[in-house]
Structure 1
Amino acid sequence: MHSKLRSRLARRVTTGLLFTAMSLAGAMSYAATEINLSYNGAADSEKNPVHLFASNLKRIAEEKSGGELSIKLYPNSMLGEEEQRMEQVISTPGLNIASFAGVAPLFPEIYVSAIPFMFKDAAAAHQFFDNGEYWKAAKTEFKNRTGVEMLAVVEEGGFLNFTNNKKPIKSPEDFAGLRFRAMDPSQVALYESFGASGTPIPWTELYMGLRTGVADGQMNPTSYIILGSLYQVQKYLTLANIQYSDQFLVANGDMLAALPEKDRDALLAASEEATKLNREAIAKQQESDITFLKAEGMEVIQPDVKDLAAFQSKGQPAYLEWLKAQKIDAKWIDMALKDTGLNQ
């Protein structure tokens, strides 16, 4: 699937992005007043942090531009699934909030930002994306390959955490013999490093899969555990800060460059402010989420420093081996680990 997307997008990059001055001007006469923003998930700011970000971006950009910009929201993948939306933002003026599924086919090095147990807390993740050398280089390389600008890292739920319905998990040894739902081969590698197994289950089938025992557990942010009512079929929640849960606001580069300076500055400032607002909202939401899950009967386990180090020592090498198998250049891994202090 990824190779097909790469070939299609390569054609779009070489043909669609080479706008003539006249066609670009014509496109911008429309986009200067209205810009489409597409993304996954429902138009519900309380349940969907991505929609919260999109709503704030729209409001702030329109205010700062004095009404010169109009952001039109398309939630629920109304303009297409991940691959289609990325094709659109490459070849036509617009904005998109892409998950790893949208970015990785064009830039597999994005998986480096999801090395498990790389961040001790949200502040460390924010520092990584706000000031790290890896992320600066990643944005530049992504633009070079696609013509698309990465404007923001959209926090969508804090950190992924483990749940299961068999026993409390405090250390890697507690995984032995369990079956976990996996979203991709990297998660399978992670589970296997702990002595468990991974089985692919789509999100739409996850609740029933957990209920019927196809899998004993899974990992997601607390917001998704609530969104999917997984607390009804999972007894134990382990707060292990596995991976930072995020998506990426991307913009057609030609559109961004052609915007009047005032409008472009308004959009960039809005992306920064919306990012900050999402981070603040998720920090508050985490506390209320955990309170809710406890009230619903989940037992919440907080591993101590020693146990978290054990998760890291087993889980990280397995993921790094998976990255190597994807032929990710080691320089990206080295940059990311240096930014987090893990290779010192």
Structure 2
Amino acid sequence: MTLSPKATAVAVTLSASLFTGSVHAATEWNVSLWGQRRAFTEHVEKLAELVEQKTKGDFTLNLSYGGLSNNRENLDGISFGAFEMAQFCAGYHPDKNPSITVLELPFLGVDSLEKEIEVSMAVYNHPAVEKDLGRWNATLLMPSPLPQYNVVGVGDAPSSLEDFEGLRVRATGGIGAAMETIGAVPTSMSATEVRQSIDSGVISAASFAPHAHMSFGTVEAADWWTTNLNPGTVNCPVVVNNDALASLSDEHRDALMDSVDEALDYYVDYYNNQTMAKWGPTLDEKGIERVTFSEEELARFREQVAQPAAEAWIEEMKAKGLPAEELYDLTVETIAK
């Protein structure tokens, strides 16, 4: 039988590889995300692009938006190697990742995406946090920095903080705790469930960063939006499976790790200059009323919430065996720099 030139080349390559005792195979990682491509995932998209470029296609990240796992189960999937990389939000399951919930405490005073990255990475690199996530066979790779959350809602717009009394609001983590202090009823649910819950009347309002209000359709139903409530944000890391990371060649590991800062820089530029540029015009187009609270009201809100929430978090985490005061001090000191 006569082989074609292409088949002959393949055969020669395989023979040479077998002769030297090794057969090279490209590396592919599956990455579990959710929803759709949006500002929240642009750093992962950029990371995939950079890794593929640096390895000339020899290492690729296959991004899946909901096809691999439920977003609340991404950390579980990482733990047993169902996929190699995933994104999750700490507030979705605080018991699974208690150490990083310090980053979701209300009114921490983070005022930029750059500062959110800095404080997140400081916490991620703490030995107690590495150990905490190590229980899930996970290494924290990078955060998904988000601006301060604000609330959109349906019905009559609140004219004061007292008007939140009894309002059912989608709010997780520290934001939920903050909303509870002004009488709201926080409800925890994943982002993909929010629009349907508003339409069905399960909730009347939702706290999100601007990109998510647009991506998950809450602006399509909303009557009002708070411009300056700013109770806090959520922390949503990108993690990798420890075994998968350890199995990478030096070249591939360097390509991945050396691309993180560039991917985050791209994300910040995208969020600040593209996403936020669309936010104001979207509110105007939809006829959404802007609700702005007085500085006196906000100061009272912060005073009611910030310190009690921090003290409660410290006591709860100490009971779990975490160095809670150390993690909290690291967080606030990094922010204050």
TM-score by length of 2: 0.77
Q: Tell me if 1:129 matches 2:124.
A: no
CA distance in 2, matches of 1:199, 1:35: 34
Q: Secondary structure at the match of 1:247?
A: coil
Q: Which residue of 2 aligns with 1:337?
A: 332
Counterpart AA for 2:186: G
Give the match for residue 52 of structure 2: 62
SS state at 2:130 partner: helix
Give the corresponding residue for 2:169. 181
Q: Secondary structure at the match of 1:70?
A: strand
Q: Which residue of 2 aligns with 1:4?
A: none
Match of 2:205 among 209, 213, 217: 217
Superposition misfits of 4+ residues, deviation over 6 angstroms: none
Deviations 1:293-330 (A, max 9, x none): 12211122344654443332223245336534464543
Deviation per CA, 1:197-220: give whole Å up to 9, x if none.
334566555435435654332211
Which of residues 24, 33, 36 is equivalent to 2:27?
A: 33
Q: Report if aligned partners of 2:51, 2:256 keep a CA contact under 8 Å in 1.
A: yes
CA distance 1:210–1:73, change in 2 (3 Å): closer
Structure 1 residue runs of 5 or longer lacking an equivalent are 1-27
Q: Contact 1:99–1:248 (CA<8 Å) still a contact in 2?
A: yes
Q: Is contact 2:170–2:187 with CA below 8 Å preserved after alignment?
A: yes
Helix, strand or coil for the counterpart of 2:144?
Answer: strand
Which residue of 246, 251, 256 maps to 1:267?
256
User: Residues 100, 29 of structure 1: CA spacing in aligned structure 2 closer, same or farther, 3 A cutoff?
Assistant: farther
Q: What amino acid maps onto 2:29 in structure 1?
A: I
Conserved 8 A contact 1:142-1:149 = no
Counterparts of 2:102 and 2:87 in 1: how far apart (Å)? 19
Instruction: State the alpha-carbon separation in 1 of the partners of residues 186 and 244 from structure 2.
Output: 42
**1:304–1:276 Cα change, 3 Å:** farther
Give the CA deviation at 1:62.
0.9
Structure 2 residue ranges without an equivalent (≥5): 1-22
Supply the distance in 2 between the matched residues of 1:234 and 1:86 (Cα, whole angstroms).
32
Greater Rg, structure 1 or structure 2? 2
How much does 1:148 deviate?
1.9
Where does residue 271 of structure 2 map in the other structure?
A: 282
Deviation (angstroms), 1:180: 2.5
Q: 1:34 offset after TM fit, Å?
A: 1.2
Matching residue's letter, 2:63: L
Alpha carbons 2:69, 2:77 under 8 Å: kept: no
Name the CA shift for 1:234/1:319 in 2 (closer, same or farther; >3 Å).
Answer: farther
Return the letter of the residue paired with 1:320.
A
Q: Which residue of 1 aligns with 2:215?
A: 227
- Tell me, yes or no, if structure 1 residue 117 matches structure 2 residue 107: yes
Rounded Cα–Cα distance in structure 2 between residues aligned with 1:113 and 1:29: 42
Helix, strand or coil at the partner of 2:259: helix
For residues 101-180 of structure 1, the aligned pairs below 5 Å read 104-122=94-112, 123-130=114-121, 132=122, 134-137=123-126, 139-155=129-145, 157-169=146-158, 172-175=161-164, 177-180=165-168
SS at match of 1:116: coil
Question: Aligned partner of 1:337: which letter?
Answer: V
Q: CA deviation at 1:183?
A: 4.4
1:25 corresponds to:
none
Letter in 2 for 1:41: G
CA distance in 2, matches of 1:162, 1:83: 22
Contact 2:31–2:63 at 8 Å: present in 1 too?
yes
Q: Match for 2:69 among 58, 80, 87? A: 80
Change (3 A) 1:199 1:74: closer
The size of the alignment, in residue pairs, is 305
The answer to whether the 8 A contact 1:121-1:241 is kept is no
Percent identity of equivalent pairs: 19
- CA deviations on 1:255-307 (whole Å, 9 max, x unpaired) are 32332222111101222222221111111212311221122111223446544
Q: CA RMSD of the aligned region, Å?
A: 3.2
Q: Quick one: distance in 2 between partners of 1:237 and 1:90?
A: 38
Question: Structure 1 residues 263, 103: closer, same or farther in 2, change over 3 A?
Answer: farther
Contact 2:28/2:59, CA 8 A, preserved across alignment: yes
Question: Which stretch shifts more, 313-322 or 115-124?
Answer: 313-322
Output the TM-score relative to the length of structure 1: 0.75
> Partners in 1 of 2:115 and 2:295 — Cα distance?
16
Deviation at 1:187, TM superposition (A): 4.8
